[in-house]
Amino acid sequence: MNGRSSASRVLARRLLAEFVGTALLVTMVVGSGIAAAQLSPGDVGVQLLENSIATAFGLAVLILLFGPVSGAHFNPAVSAADWLLGRRAGTGISGQHLVAYTIVQAIGGVAGALLANIMFDRQVFEIATKDRLTTGHLIGEVVATAGLIALIFTLARTGRAGLSAAAVGAYIGAAYWFTSSTSFANPAVTIGRAFSDSFAGIAPNSVPAFIAAQLVGALIGLTLVVALYPGVAAAADEVVVPHGNTDN
């Protein structure tokens, strides 16, 4: 009984970390997008620069803050890749925990967008109208997500997971610019951004295709890292950063 109770408390803490972390990530993305549009009206390039800098640095901070508790996935694609990779090796996240992570990440994404709307005196509940559904954008999402997954699992496999905060933040900041989609690379963030009709928004009709492209990208990234590092499954417990040392 005590073992079950302890495991439940550990899971509760991890889910709280994933919820709050994902919510704050979306708040940073959407909030900085709204601020950028207000500060630099008419200059989309400067707006994107402001948005990408805030997101890159903010994501690094969130990984440092919540990583020791939950691993700082903040992304259903990362959690799914962790589960898929660790199935045979007995490592990584369990199937039940994958479902729980995905649910709280998605809810957190929506909550983060609503919080950004509130902070900038917008309507609390908005539906984005920015249509992003183009072939180029979908390919951009495949590329962005594949690179993110390959980076995260390579760092874990090579014993450099401690660099994930800086490396993942830097990658996402760069991918804002080298991908046509501005690198959502995250189903939970994609869902959240549909709830703010702002610079960072995405129309609901674009969301399913974006998520499908992200999942394809995750599989490609995982395939690449398995080919490069055949023993990577053993490191699934270290994604995105080593966690569990706060469980007691």
pTM for the model = 0.95
Secondary structure (DSSP) of 110-144: HHHHHHHHHHTT--SS---------HHHHHHHHHH
Tens-digit pLDDT string for the chain (248 aa): 566 778 899 999 999 999 999 999 999 999 999 999 999 999 999 999 999 999 999 999 999 999 999 999 999 999 999 999 998 788 889 999 999 999 999 999 999 999 999 999 999 999 999 999 999 999 999 999 999 999 999 999 999 999 999 999 999 999 999 999 999 999 999 999 999 999 999 999 999 999 999 999 999 999 999 999 999 999 888 899 988 766 55
Fold of 2-238: Glycerol uptake facilitator protein (1.20.1080)
Cα–Cα nearest to 75, from 29, 132, 126: 29
- What are the domain boundaries of the chain? 2-238
**CB-based burial of residue 80 (10 Å sphere; 0-12 exposed, 13-18 middle, 19+ buried)?**
buried
